[in-house]
Structures are given as structure tokens and as C-alpha cells.
Structure 1
Amino acid sequence: MKVIVIGATGTLGRAVVRALEPRHEVVGASRGGPVAVDLERPATLDALFATVPGADAVVCCAASGPLVPLETVSDEEFAAGLGGKLLGQAALVRRAARHLNDGGSITLTGGTFSEPLAGGSLGALVNGGLEGFVRNAAAELPRGLRLNLVSPGWISETLESLGADPVGGTPAADVARAYAELVEGGARGVNLVPGHAR
């Protein structure tokens, strides 16, 4: 398959590229790469599918959201926090539905945490919204297209870069296998949480 990986230069994106490259033609896209895309600028999504025609799958690993204090965050900051990860990924799905080959696959990135996280209410809203969106939109997509979501918690390498104990996270390579499973399988409307029993 020809697979577009958005966020291909990040920790998780690089791991997803490595997981898919042995079996597929992978086209990496990122904000600063030769194939440029920014989830907060929908026009770059249109340009992406014009630049990479005939794709069979798209994986989005670029989505991230800030931790913001619920009591003091402004309405504008809160609305901006919905931009890339929630609305940007929804915009990606709408465009991919028009451009991917029949039977193609779209895999988005959400998130999950085992307990409430200080500053995490915006992230919880985004992740809950993504889960509901994927479940419903998967049933609406035409031409046998499949839509799924991967919801990792902390990535071990990210924790290590923050000076925290990486044991509390899941290695990027393990999370990447979840993306590969959804791209190559037949699931539709699934929210896959790496490291949790299914």
C-alpha cells in the first residue's frame, strides 16, 4: 500500500514509519518536511492529497494538545486547543474520504490516561470528542473506507525526555504496532488503546 504518515518526524511518527516501511510505500509528511502539512491549516491538507495522489491509507501521529489550567484558561486559548488535534483531524478525515483509494484506511491519534490529570480537561474533551467522532464517522464513510483511532497514554520516550521514569509509559515501537494493525487489518470504528487487553 501507499501510506501517508503525518507527523513522521516526531517520536511516534518515526516509530510508525519504521513499523510500516518493510511492507509498504511510506510517504512521510510533517510541518517542516518536504511534504508539508499542518493540521491547523486545512489548505495544507488539500495540498497533501494533491502532492501524494493514489494513497491507500493515511495515519495521523501529529496531533498534540496542551495542558491548560481549567480555572484560568481563556475562552480563546481553550478554543485554540481544539484546533489541531480535534478539528484538524476531522478535517483530515473529510479530505481523505474524497482522495484515498477505495477500501482505504484512515487512522487518527487520540489519547487516554488512567486517572484525571492536572491541566488535562481540554485533552479529555478532545480525546472524548475524537472517540465519538470516529465511531460515528466510520459508519458514514463511502467506498469501503475504514476509520479508526489509536489512543496511547504516555509514550516511554516522551517521559524520558521530560526527565520522568519511562517505565510508566508504553514504548513508541509497541504503540506503532497498534497503528500498523489498524492500517493492515479490517477494523472499522475502533478505538485501540495500546497496552490494554482487547
Structure 2
Amino acid sequence: MKKVVVIGATGTLGRAVVAELKTRHEVIEVGATRGAYQVDSTNPASIEKLFPQTGKVDAIVTTIGKVHFGPLPDMTVDQFWVGLRDKLMGQINVVLLAQRYLNDGGSFTLTSGILADEPIREGASATSVNLALEGFVRGAAIELPRGIRINLVSPTVLEESMEAYAPYFRGFEPVSAARAALAYSRSVEGAQTGRVYRVGY
């Protein structure tokens, strides 16, 4: 049994990941405003406050991140920064600051998405952020010490999110959050590092 922190545990995907992992592991649920603990991943001080409370863990999963959807010709610099600050740096902040709280041989599992490979109109920010996360994971995998692994899960649009996102994803075949959650188990419980696990495409 591993001790696993799931950051983003109260979201649609996060809840499915918690449900998948907690049948076999001790799962610590962390949300932005709910969960056993709260953290603002865009704020390094908030991350540094969280992990002394949880203690050493075997795995850290992040299912977090906002990006701005909108027409590129109208997008402001501040709007583009939303994804860079939240989804990209929010997850990178966790890796940079929490690695010392991972036990030897522990793992990080981050989250990107299908727009890294399948750009859509009004999705330039999401495509940029998702590809940057893939680059970070590949680069970090060869440098993390003490046998620490890092992987990335890249799901297609979730069935549970189609009501909100359907106009952006016409023609895409959604997957359930429960199916996407299986890839997180593969990362947490497996032996691979530097991998991108694509779900549903």
C-alpha cells in the first residue's frame, strides 16, 4: 500500500482518480477549497505549507489546471497567462517544491490533455500548456534523484465535461473519468518514467 497525495481531488477527474486508487492505497485528498487539505498550487508558499502536514508520501498526483479558451486574435496577454500560471506552473511548482517529501522510488503524475496533439479553434493556450507539460516531464525524468519517477496523463475530453465543453470538441469521442483514472494507476503503481499516457486517442 502506497501513501498517495491527489491534488485536485475534488474535481471531476480527481474524484475518479481517488476512487481508483483508494481501493489499494492510502489517499490524501487535496483541493483548492475542499478536501482533507487545501492548496493553491500557483502559490509556492501554499505548497510549502501543505507537505509538512501530509508528511512523506510515495506518490503525488495532480489533476489541476485552468486554461483560457478564446479566439487567438482577441486573446490578451493576461488571458494567455492564465494557463501558464495555473495549469503549467501550478503543476511544475508541485514537482519543484514537493520532491523532497517523496520517498525514494516515489512518483509524480501530472495531467495535460488531447489538445497537445489535436489543436482546436480557440484552444491555442491549452495546446501550448499541454505540450510544455510534456516537455517538462521528459526533461525532469532524467534528472529527478533517488529513483523518483514522473509521468503525464493526457486524456481526451471527459464524458462528464461534455455539457460544458461540447462546442469545442465536436467530433471527438469522449471517455469516462473512470477510464482516464486507470492511467494514473499505471503511473503510480508501474515502473515507467518520462512517459505520456494518452487516454482515448
The answer to whether TM tops 0.5 is yes
Q: Distance in 2 between matches of 1:163 and 1:63?
A: 19
The ranges of structure 1 where at least 4 consecutive aligned residues each deviate by more than 3 angstroms after the TM superposition are 160-167
Which moves more between the two structures, 65-74 or 17-26? Answer: 65-74
Equivalent residues of 2:71, 2:121 under 8 A apart: yes
Deviations 1:23-45 (A, max 9, x none): 00000000112400122222111
Matched positions, count = 196
Change (3 A) 1:167 1:121: closer
Report SS of the residue matched to 1:16. Answer: helix
Report SS of the residue matched to 2:47. Answer: helix
Change (3 A) 1:76 1:137: same
Q: What is the CA distance between 1:112 and its match in structure 2?
A: 1.2
Deviations 1:101-131 (A, max 9, x none): 1110100001113633111111111011000
TM-score (norm 2): 0.91
Q: Distance in 2 between matches of 1:52 and 1:115?
A: 37
Q: Distance in 2 between matches of 1:17 and 1:127?
A: 22
Q: Distance in 1 between matches of 2:187 and 2:160?
A: 22
TM-score (norm 1): 0.93
Which of 165, 170, 191 matches 2:175? 170
Report SS of the residue matched to 2:66. Answer: coil
Structure 1 vs Structure 2 CA RMSD: 1.8
Deviations 1:115-164 (A, max 9, x none): 33111111111011000110011111000000000011100110145567
Runs of at least 5 residues in structure 1 that lack an aligned partner in the other structure: none
Q: Distance in 2 between matches of 1:167 and 1:74?
A: 28
Which structure dedicates a bigger proportion of its chain to strand? 2
Q: Distance in 2 between matches of 1:68 and 1:38?
A: 24
Identity of aligned residues (%): 44
